[in-house]
Amino acid sequence: MEEWTAKLRSSVEACPLLGPPSISMLEVLVGYLGVVALLGVVLPGPSIAGAALEDKSRLTYKCNGLASLVVLIAGLGVGIRTGHILPTVVAENGGQLCSTTLAFCLVMSVFVYLKGCLSQSKTASLRSHVTGNILHDWWFGVQLNPDFLGLDLKFFWIRTGMLGWFLINLSVAAKQFQNQGSLSLSMALYQAFSAIYVLDYFWHEEAMTSTWDIIAEKFGFMLIFGDVVFIPFTFSIQGWWLLSHSVKISKIAAALNLCIFLFGFAIFRGANKQKHKFKQDSKVVIWGQTAKVIGGRLLASGYWGVARHCNYLGDILVAFSFSLPCGMSSPVPYFYPAYLFTLLIWRERRDEARCCEKYREVWQEYCKAVPWRIFPGIY
Ligand code: NDP
């Protein structure tokens, strides 16, 4: 029993994502949030009209996430060169930063919940959807698009989480470089794949404005925690893992890994792009032919003619490619693909129910034309 307790204690102590909250990490977090908010306000970027809400109103989103990322990285570069910022600060304080961010999210979710409950607004974005079940309302949120000082919290929060993931990865890479003077092939692959994914996300940030989180999910603890704790700290587990485990992979394995990433990425990006273009122009040309449309509203060609959520398939393959560089010795680095797989299976069911209700017989017709949900020929 004693041996088991000692083992547990040592693995907990070794876990880079466990640690007590601290004031210094709160300063880092608040500083980071302030800078991302400021960059979002001052930097130029296209203003994109969001999806029409229940009351036919539309919110406008300033899509300057990529510009924010570039300026942030340039600023950090200057800070590092002048000795004001330590590139490894996050990698060395991952546990403290993670628990501090969690505590911050808890406080923020209560604030957002109370503000939402008190809202007198009748607009679709700010109307209060109180069910009376406090736990449910706090978890799922009571307002669709709450704002703070004019900032759309939901759009800002997901941006903060994706940028945070990128910055954690950079810090972890800096730490490995400091420890061993170079990046391992495994670390380089993970860093390259995840960097491409994040850069692509910001390159296509305007497509975010039509995703489920933005158009349908209310802003409660689930999104507050999910965007800023879960995304940056668990999506980066592979990087943390490679920091403390030496994994040697052959060039052939690396090439195969690259193929899986490219294949998954092509499906993921291609499918999301096709739907986005279709929403703008239903006569769009897809794979060389004018889009096949069902009931005048649903796209049934390209990836959307192969499976009803091919974009989820692509995302799952990409997630696996992030973990494969870590080898097969432990399930820990496979947390992200396992989570994403579960989430997307559940999400597809929820989206299916929503679309069934929204499109009714048109959706039934679409299901007949495209019977596969996510994995063609399997599911
Ligand atoms: P989708 O982008 O697939 O959006 C679903 C919506 O698209 C539906 O509600 C419907 O909305 C519309 N739609 C569905 N089928 C069709 C069709 N055939 N033709 C036209 N419109 C259609 O889902 P998500 O927002 O869930 O995901 C977006 C991306 O984000 C995905 O690639 C997903 O993998 C990724 N993602 C990643 C996560 C992560 O943690 N890494 C988490 C969640 C998502 P409407 O009412 O507008 O028609």
Count of CA atoms in the C-beta half-sphere (13 A) of 148 = 17
Atom of ligand 1 nearest to the CA of 278: 20
* Mutational pocket test of ligand 1: of 211, 234, 367, the residue with most ligand atoms within 8 Å of the beta carbon: 211
Q: Which residue's CA is the nearest one to ligand 1's atom 30?
A: 211
Note whether 16 and 67 are same-domain residues. yes
At residue 285, φ and ψ (nearest 5 deg) are: -90, 125
* Per-residue 3-state assignment (H helix, E strand, C coil) for 222-264: HHHHHHHHHHHHHCCHHHHHHHHCCCCCCHHHHHHHHHHHHHH
CA-to-CA separations, 253 to 257, 267, 327, 336, in angstroms, rounded: 6, 21, 10, 20
- Pocket of ligand 1, candidates 215, 342, 346, 351: which has the most ligand atoms within 8 Å of its Cβ, to mutate? 351
**129 domain residue, yes or no:** yes
Would 3 be classed as within a structural domain?
Answer: no
Domain span at 259? 249-379
Residue 349 domain-assigned? yes
CB–CB of 273/217 below 8 Å? no
Q: Under the phi-then-psi rule, with left for phi > 0, alpha for psi from -120 to 50, and beta for the rest, what region is 377?
A: left
Whole-number Å distance between alpha carbons of 142 and 189? 41
Q: What number does the ligand 1 atom closest to the CA of 370 have?
A: 18
Over the stretch 50-89, which tens digit does the pLDDT of each residue have? Answer: 878 888 888 889 999 999 999 999 999 999 999 999 999 9
Ligand 1, atom nearest to 358 Cα: 46
DSSP bridge partners of 147: 152
Nearest ligand 1 atom to the CA of 271 is 32
Residue with tokens 């494969």: 324
Are both 188 and 172 inside the same structural domain?
yes
61 phi and psi angles, rounded to 5 deg: -115, 130
Q: Which residue has the CA at smallest separation from atom 41 of ligand 1?
A: 340
- Decide: 200 and 129 in contact? Cβ < 8 Å: no
Domain boundary among 248, 269, 296: 248
Counting from 1 in the atom list of ligand 1, the atom nearest the Cα of 315 is 34
Best of 53, 196, 276, 311 to mutate for ligand 1, by most ligand atoms within 8 A of CB? 311
DSSP code of 3? H
Amino acid 6: pLDDT: 62
Residue 7 domain flag: no
211 Cα–ligand 1 center, Å: 5
Atom 10 in ligand 1: residue holding the nearest Cα? 355
Of the residues 248, 281, 313, the one at which a domain ends: 248
Query: Do 189 and 256 reside in the same domain of the chain?
Result: no
Helical (H) or strand (E) element with 289: strand 289-290
Q: State which H helix or E strand residue 279 sits in.
A: helix 251-280
Domain boundary among 248, 278, 294: 248
Distance 294 CA to ligand 1 centre (A): 17
Residues 206 and 259 in one domain: no
Query: Is residue 6 one of the residues assigned to a domain?
Result: no
Kindly state the tokens that stand for 340.
């994403």
| 5: in domain | no
Residues 276, 240 within the same domain: no
Cα 171 → chain centroid: 19
Mark whether 202 and 89 lie in a shared domain. yes
pLDDT at 206: 86
The verdict on 265 and 317 lying in the same domain is yes
Amino acid (1-letter code) at residue 375: F
Claim to verify: residue 68 and residue 193 sit in the same structural domain: yes
DSSP state of 292: P
Closest ligand 1 atom to residue 214 Cα is 25
263 shares its domain with 202 = no
- Give residue 213 CA to ligand 1 midpoint distance, Å: 9
Q: Which residues line ligand 1 (CB under 6 A)?
A: 211-212, 268, 272, 275, 278, 298-299, 304, 309, 311-312, 315, 340, 343-344, 347, 351, 354-355, 358
Residues 87 and 149 grouped into a single domain = yes
pLDDT at 4: 59
Q: Which parts of the chain sit beneath pLDDT 70?
A: 1-15
Which of the 8 DSSP states describes residue 44?
A: -
Task: Say if residue 159 is in the same domain as residue 265.
Answer: no
Residue count of the chain, please give it: 379
Please give the structure tokens belonging to residue 117: 């409950």
pLDDT digits (tens, 9 = 90+) for 201-239: 999 898 888 787 888 889 999 999 999 999 999 999 999
Q: Structure pTM?
A: 0.87
165 in a structural domain: yes
- Expressed in angstroms and rounded, the spacing between residue 105 Cα and the centre of ligand 1 is 26
Q: Tally the domains of the chain.
A: 2
On whether residue 2 sits in a domain, the answer given is: no
Please state the atom number of ligand 1 nearest to the C-alpha of residue 298: 19
Q: For the segment 7-32, what is each residue's pLDDT rounded down to a tens digit? A: 555 555 556 777 888 999 999 999 99
Helices H, strands E: what count in the chain?
17, 8
CA–CA gap between residue 77 and residue 110 (Å, rounded): 36
Terminal CA-CA length for the chain: 45
Same domain, 233 and 363: no
